[in-house]
Amino acid sequence: MTERLTLTRPDDWHLHLRDGAPMADVLPYTARQFARAIVMPNLKPPVTTVAQAAAYRQRILAARPPDSDFEPLMTLYLTDNTTADEIRRAKESGFVHGVKLYPAGATTNSDAGVTDLARCARALEAMQDVDLPLQVHGEVTRAEVDVFDREARFIDDVLEPLRRDFPALRVVFEHITTRQAADYVRDAPGPIGATITAHHLLYNRNALFLTPHGRAGVRPHYYCLPVLKREPHRQALVAAATSGNPRFFLGTDSAPHPKGEKESACGCAGCFTAASALEMYATVFEAAGALDKLEAFASFHGADFYRLPRNRGTVTLAREPWTLPSELAFGDTAVVPLAAGETLPWKIVA
Ligand code: DOR
Ligand code: ZN
C-alpha cells in the first residue's frame, strides 16, 4: 500500500474566494496546497471589468499568508453588456485568464448573468479572436426543466450551438456532474476542457438525504449546483478524472457560505472543500486504483489547457487519517466544511 505520495504542486482551476474578512479566513487553506487558482468573479456586485478584477486581485494578494507565493488567476463575469473592448483589455492585462458564463439565475450570485447568449456575440467573437477561454456554468435555467436534467439539456441547447458558432473558442465546461457531460468533453471536436470537483467524485445524490450510516435527513452542506447526481454519473466522472485524458482537470468549486445561510429554509448552493481538497481527490483516486493518475489531473492538465507553465515544487500526502472539524472561522461567522466530522485517509504533510 502506498504510504506517501509526492506530487508536483497542483493548481485549483475553479475556486470561490469571496471577499473581505471571510476571504482572509479561507484563502490560507487554498494557498497551502495549490500554487494558483482560477478565482470566480461572482461577488456582490460581480467582477465585470478589468479594473474590478485588478482591485480584487490586489485584495487577494494582500490577504495571503506571510511567505505565500500563491497566485490568483482572475476571471471576468460575462453579462449581456460585456464589450469586445473589455475582452481585449482583459487579454492585455495578463492577469485575466478567462470569462465566466453564468446563465442568469443558474446559481449563487448569478442574477447579473447572461439572459441570452445571442446578446454576447461580440464579446464571444473577441474572446475567440484574442484566445481568452470561456468558463461555463453549464445548466439551463428554464423552470420547466428538471433540476437534475439541467446540465444534460445545456449541452444540446446551448453548448453545441455556441461551439458551432465559435469553433476556435477555448471552453471549460465547469464542474461537470453527468455522464453526458463527461462523454461530450471526451468526444467533442475542438478546444474544450472540463473541471471536476472532489464532491462530485465522492458523493452521489443520496448524500443530500442520508448520512454515511444511512440516517435520513436533509443535509444542506452537500447541496451545490449543479446538484449531485445518481451513482452512474458519479462513476462516469471518476472514470473521466482517472482516465489520463488531458481534457479533464482539477477544479474544486470550493464555495464557502456562512453556516446560517446553508442551514436555512432556503439554503444556498456551495460546498466548502478548500480545507481538504487534495486529500479528498487522493481518496477518490485511490479507491479507483488510479493514484498514479492523480498528478497529471491535479498538476499538469489544467496548466497545459490554460497555456501556463507547470509548477515547480511539490506537495506531499501521507496516509495519516484525520477528521474534518465541525466548523471553521469565516469572518464574523463560521463555515461548515464538506464532510465535517468524517475521516479522510490522506493528509498533506509537506
Ligand atoms: O454550488 C455552487 N456554489 N455552485 C455555483 O455555481 C456557485 C457556487 C457559489 O458561488 O456559492
Ligand atoms: Zn463555482
| Complete domains list, the chain, with CATH | 4-348 (3.20.20.140)
Does residue 138 have its Cβ closer than 6 Å to ligand 1?
Answer: no
Cβ–ligand 1 contact at 108 (below 6 Å): yes
3-state DSSP percent of the chain in helix, strand and coil, to 5: 35, 20, 45
Which residues of the chain carry a pLDDT beneath 50? none
pLDDT in the model for residue 1: 84
Question: Three cell numbers at 14?
Answer: 475553479
Q: Would you state the pLDDT for residue 230?
A: 98
Catalytic sites, residue numbers: 253
- What angle (nearest 5°) sits at the alpha carbon of residue 209, between those of residues 207 and 215? 95
Report the length, in residues, of the chain.
350
Cα 327 to chain centroid, rounded: 21
pLDDT of residue 42: 96
Phi, then psi, of 12 in degrees rounded to 5? -110, 110
Tell me, using a 6 A CB cutoff, whether residue 225 lines ligand 1.
yes
pLDDT at 109: 78
Structural element, H or E, at residue 306: none
Strand, helix or coil for residue 97: strand
Please give the model's pTM, rounded to 2 decimal places. Answer: 0.98
pLDDT at 107: 78
The values of phi and psi at residue 277, to 5°, are: -60, -60
Atom index in ligand 1 nearest the CA of residue 256 equals: 11
Quote the cell numbers at residue 31: 494557498
Cis peptide bond N-terminal to 133, omega within 30: no
- Among 18, 253, 262, the mutation site with the greatest number of ligand 1 atoms within 8 A of its Cβ is 253
Q: How far apart are CA 219 and CA 206, in angstroms?
A: 10
Neighbours of ion ligand 2 (CB under 5 A): 253
Ligand 1 atom closest to the Cα of residue 174 is 6
- Our answer on whether the CB atom of 42 is closer than 6 Å to any ligand 1 atom is yes
How many angstroms separate the alpha carbon of residue 270 from the centre of ligand 1? Answer: 5
Whose CA is closest to atom 2 on ligand 1?
Answer: 270
User: Does the CB atom of residue 136 touch ligand 1 within 6 A?
Assistant: no
Atom from ligand 1 closest to the CA of residue 137: 6
What is the pLDDT at residue 193? 98
Burial of 313 (0-12, 13-18, 19+ CB in 10 A): exposed
Peptide bond into 345 cis (omega under 30): no
The conformation of residue 240, written as its DSSP 8-state character, comes to: H
